[in-house]
Amino acid sequence: MNRRIFLMAGGAALASGRGAMPAATKLKVSVFSKHLQFLKDEALAETAATLGFDGVDLTVRPGGHIEPERAEDELPRLVKILRARRLAVEMVTSGIVDADTPYAESVIRTLAELGIRYYRWGGFLYEPDRPIPAQLEALKPRIAKLAALNEKYKVCAMYHTHSGLGQVGASIWDLYILLKDFSPDAVSVNYDTAHATVEGGYGGWMNSLRVTETHLRGVAVKDFLWEKDSKGNWTPEWCPVGEGMVRFPQFFRMIAKRKFAGPLQMHYEYPLGGADTGKTTITIPREQVYAAMKRDLKLVRGWLAEVGL
- pLDDT, tens only, 195-204: 999 999 888 9
What does the pLDDT read at residue 202? 87
Q: How many other C-beta atoms can be found within 10 angstroms of the C-beta atom of residue 69?
A: 13
- Where is average pLDDT lowest: 25-29, 32-36, 282-286? 25-29
Please say if the pLDDT value at position 215 is more than 90: yes
Q: How far apart are CA 104 and CA 112, in angstroms?
A: 12
Q: How far apart are CA 53 and CA 82, in angstroms?
A: 11
Q: Is residue 86 part of a domain?
A: yes
Cross-strand partners of 266: 31, 221
Is residue 18 within 8 A of residue 294, CB to CB? The reply is no
Q: How many other C-beta atoms can be found within 10 angstroms of the C-beta atom of residue 166?
A: 10
Q: Is residue 20 part of a domain?
A: no
What does the pLDDT read at residue 26? 85
Stated length of the chain? 309
pLDDT, tens digit, 9 for 90 and up, residues 273-304:
999 999 999 999 999 999 999 999 999 999 99
Q: Is residue 23 part of a domain?
A: no
Closest-CA residue to 101 (of 83, 84, 120, 79): 120
pLDDT, tens digit, 9 for 90 and up, residues 242-269:
999 999 999 999 999 999 998 999 999 9
- Cα–Cα distances (Å) from 286 to 35, 40, 277, in that order, read 11, 14, 15
Is residue 159 within 8 A of residue 167, CB to CB? The reply is no
* CATH code: domain of residue 246: 3.20.20.150
Closest-CA residue to 79 (of 114, 108, 40): 114
- Split at pLDDT 50, 70, 90, the class of 3 is very low
Closest-CA residue to 251 (of 184, 201, 291): 201
- Structural domain containing residue 152: 2-7+32-306
- Split at pLDDT 50, 70, 90, the class of 171 is very high
Q: Is residue 109 part of a domain?
A: yes
Q: Is residue 19 part of a domain?
A: no
pLDDT, tens digit, 9 for 90 and up, residues 89-123:
999 999 999 999 999 999 999 999 999 999 999 99
Q: How far apart are CA 67 and CA 56, in angstroms?
A: 16
Please say if the pLDDT value at position 21 is more than 60: no
Q: Is residue 231 part of a domain?
A: yes
Indicate whether this model's pTM tops 0.75.
yes
Structurally, the chain folds into a number of domains equal to 1
pLDDT, tens digit, 9 for 90 and up, residues 123-133:
999 999 999 99
Q: How many other C-beta atoms can be found within 10 angstroms of the C-beta atom of residue 195?
A: 25
Q: Are strands 223-228 and 234-239 parallel, antiparallel or unpaired?
A: antiparallel
What does the pLDDT read at residue 276? 98
Q: Is residue 21 part of a domain?
A: no
Q: Is residue 111 part of a domain?
A: yes
